[in-house]
Chain A
Amino acid sequence: MDFDLTDEQRLLKDSVDRLVADRYDFEARNAIRKQPEGFSRELWAQYAELGILGLPFAEEDGGFGGGAVETMIVMEALGRALALEPYVATVILAGGVLRRAGSAAQRQELVPQIAGGERLLALAHGERQARYNLADVATTAQKDGDGWVLHGTKSTVLHGDAADTLIVSARVSGGQQDADGVTLFLVPADAAGLSRRGYPTQDAQRAADITLANVRVGADAVIGAPGQGIEVVRRVVDETIAALCAEAVGAMEATLHLTVDYLKTRTQFGRPIGNFQTLQHQSVDIFVALEQARSMTMYATMMARSDDAAERARAVAAAKVQIGRSGRLAGQKAIQLHGGVGMTQEYKVGHYFKRLTIIDLMFGDADHHLAILAQLGGLIATEKAA
């Protein structure tokens, strides 16, 4: 066990930190979020240049062979910056599906385009009625000659409006909530019958609802084993949760720094309000919540790629509980400690609060995952291992 970064990891961290420090001050971010796509294509190209778009993909596919720790490093930096680019959508979610289930031909075609920043992807899996149940898929795919015809509606597809290619899950057999019988398809965003309604999210990112009205795809559009798509989605969502945990840690860290700086400079009653012990102790509460969240993020990072499904499920659920609770405490207390200025859109801390809130709502909130963990019997076995 060793928590020190390797030289290569240190280099990666330094270069990502430097890029976001140089390019992502609050004014720059405000300008970026007002662009029509809601993110910066120019920065996306710089991410490509830095190598982080191809980071988790295998070298033989055109990636850089990075592991979970490398993703954690990048996500923390993006969290600190409140970055708006579709990194999670393209690289972690859709990229994860491609990495885990894509054929050699699919990977070799798409990974270089992702790594080069030329193609954006999105995972169109969630549906409104499903809430947090990943197996609930009502969208259908019917066999049509060699190909398939997709029909249904996907909701809150992260960066689904900007994506060039969508990965769509659709049911080929079984009941609406069966874990079996869902297949994943690569669908061009401009396919006939596909319509998108893009919108901003509460945290200034973008999402889209996507309607598929008899969208025709070829046999080569299928990703992975037919009918086994849910298992792929589950694994990718576990990795995504670990990545979002890291992003939340970055956001919480920035939240804490902003808050402590504010308390040291804001003067009332003739002294910096940071002199008041009650405010110091509340800052410490944020610090403790952050460090506990950082620890759990490391645990999730370590476990999210485990092949032991039960162990992985427990670890990821536990991490999402911790992140949800820590993020809520950090965000709410930071606003309170800032007072009125924390309520304004002109000030950065509220934007961290919103991002942390939305991260909790993605892929199951703290209560949802606590119920899962409790159902699985918790983390500590009743019987001692021999």
Chain B
Amino acid sequence: MELSFTADEQAFRAEVREFFRTSLPEPIRKKLESGHHTTKEELVAWQRILNKKGWAVPHWPVEWGGTGWDPVRQYIFREELMMAPAPEPLAFNVSMCGPVIIAFGNEEQKKRFLPRMANLDDWWCQGFSEPGAGSDLASLKTTAKRDGDTYVVNGQKTWTTLAQHADWIFCLVRTNSGAKQQEGISFLLIDMKTPGITVRPIITIEGGHEVNEVFFDDVRVPAENLVGQENRGWDYAKFLLGNERVGIARVGASKERIRRIKQLASVQRDGDARIIDNPRFREKLAAVEVELKALEMTQMRVVANIKNLEKGKPDPASSILKIKGSEIQQATTELLLEVVGPDAIAYQPEQGEAGWNEPAVGPDWATTAAPNYFNYRKVSIYGGSNEIQKNIIAKAILGF
């Protein structure tokens, strides 16, 4: 047991940090630091910088552009990325659909899709949830009926993140309604330009447009876009969701937000004292830092355990990462809002948008605190709600 980073690992961290310091465009860094959204163009530009360096898809097999880093180095890379703070490569491409195609797709699909995913030439979105299939995902109703060498897709997906930017959507569709729910689902890749697809925005409580409804009306999809075997899509979806949970702790992002909280709390005053000098506030913050340090170690334990797992099987302990990671992200957005205080009251969604030049009401850094706090209630709901994670632990680890 060696509980600290080796000299090699520390040198690697320094190398990664230096790359982010010199290669991340400053406007992007500033936007993330102040809690603003980056544009599609900025994300594409950044992922291409990473891809040029060979770092867009570190965890993929080397033949498809991976780096061959061990899990510890992958972890260090992600943490440094989030602490830079730099945008993560588009998760739908690199952490969700890419690994599924690598594990279950055919050679033709790999050649066709993977390089474009890594370079963000194609923007992917995820078609899993439906109005009637949230936590009970296997009850999904969108159908794909075989008609010669095409599937005809009908139905509705929802909570489709950034579908407004997407070129492609990977969907779970029902290909056999007679079978047991989980056994009639397939994993289908659909070009968003196909006739019959309609995207309708869902505006979330803070006023942002992240998620959408996607409607399919007799959408004809070539059968070659089926991943793996027909009716085995549920297995691929479970594989995908397990991968998603490992990245979902977002330790680096929470560290970065805590750093930001401390900076602002050292400036913001409440009466005669700085917020940071208020013992009650400081102890609340310290308590979150303790949880975060524990989570960081838990994350590293999960990462180090990957080598001991059957290939492709997610570690049920990764459910801890989802539960604690989301709780901590929510706690930090809440503390940030507390620091900003009354300056957070003005609603100014245009701030940080391209082409908007009006000065903010109050300090510029105050405008995102409340929207982000509101928006982050999502993190304990998406990716399998925390209650679903508890079901997973109860069943897979505690044996109930």
Contacts and interface: CB of A to CB of B under 8 A. Distances in A.
User: For chain B, what secondary structure do more than half of its interface residues adopt (helix, strand, loop), or is it mixed?
Assistant: helix
A277 B392 CA distance: 12
A382 B263 contact: yes
A298 interface: yes
B6 A378 contact: no
A380 B295 contact: no
Nearest to A373: B286
B149 to A, nearest CB: 46
Contacts of A260: 398-400
A217 B148 CA distance: 99
A295 B6 contact: no
Interface in A365-385: 370-371, 373-375, 377-382, 384
Contacts of A291: 298, 317, 320
Interface string A270-294: 0000110100110110011001110
A296 B266 contact: no
B294 to A, nearest CB: 4
A3 B1 contact: yes
**Of residues A1, A3, A6, which shows the largest number of chain B Cβ atoms within 10 Å of its Cβ?**
A1
A5 interface: yes
B323 interface: yes
A241 to B, nearest CB: 14
Interface in A73-95: none
Contact of A373 (B3, B290, B296, B300): B290
Given A1-B72, A260-B398, A283-B398, A374 B283 contact: yes
B269 interface: no
Interface string A332-371: 0000000000000000000000000000000000000011
B290 A370 contact: yes
Interface string B277-319: 0010011011101111111111011001100000000000100
A292 B291 contact: yes
B304 A288 contact: no
Given A6-B1, A280-B391, A378 B289 contact: yes
B4 A318 contact: no
A293 B294 contact: yes
A374 B282 contact: yes
A1 B294 contact: no
Contacts of B3: 1, 3, 69, 298-299, 301-302
A5 B1 CA distance: 5
Contacts of B323: 288
A4 B1 contact: yes
B323 to A, nearest CB: 6
B324 interface: yes
Contacts of A371: 279, 283
A295 B294 contact: yes
Chain A interface extent, by class: 35 or more
A264 interface: yes
B210 to A, nearest CB: 28
A301 B320 CA distance: 22
A296 B259 contact: no
Contact of B393 (A284, A380, A381): A284
Contacts of B293: 296, 299, 318, 379
B347 interface: no
A296 B297 contact: yes
Contacts of A318: 289-290, 293
B69 interface: no
A27 interface: no
A1 B5 contact: yes
B136 interface: no
A373 B294 CA distance: 15
B290 A380 contact: no
A9 interface: yes
Contacts of B297: 295-296, 298-299
A15 B63 CA distance: 45
A295 B262 CA distance: 25
B168 to A, nearest CB: 36
Given A2-B304, A292-B295, A380 B259 contact: yes
Contacts of B258: 378, 380
Contacts of B283: 370-371, 374
A123 B320 CA distance: 39
B11 interface: no
B176 to A, nearest CB: 30
A380 B289 contact: yes
Interface in A101-130: none
A288 B259 contact: no
A296 B286 contact: no
A326 to B, nearest CB: 9
A302 B391 CA distance: 33
Interface in B379-396: 387, 390-391, 393-394
Interface of B: 1-6, 9, 72, 83, 255, 258-259, 262-263, 266, 279, 282-283, 285-287, 289-298, 300-301, 304-305, 317, 320, 323-324, 387, 390-391, 393-394, 397-400
Interface of A: 1-6, 9, 69, 260, 263-264, 274-275, 277, 280-281, 283-284, 287-288, 291-293, 295-296, 298-299, 301-302, 318, 321-322, 370-371, 373-375, 377-382, 384
13 contacts: A2-B2, A3-B304, A5-B1, A277-B391, A280-B400, A281-B387, A296-B294, A299-B3, A299-B294, A318-B289, A377-B262, A379-B292, A380-B292
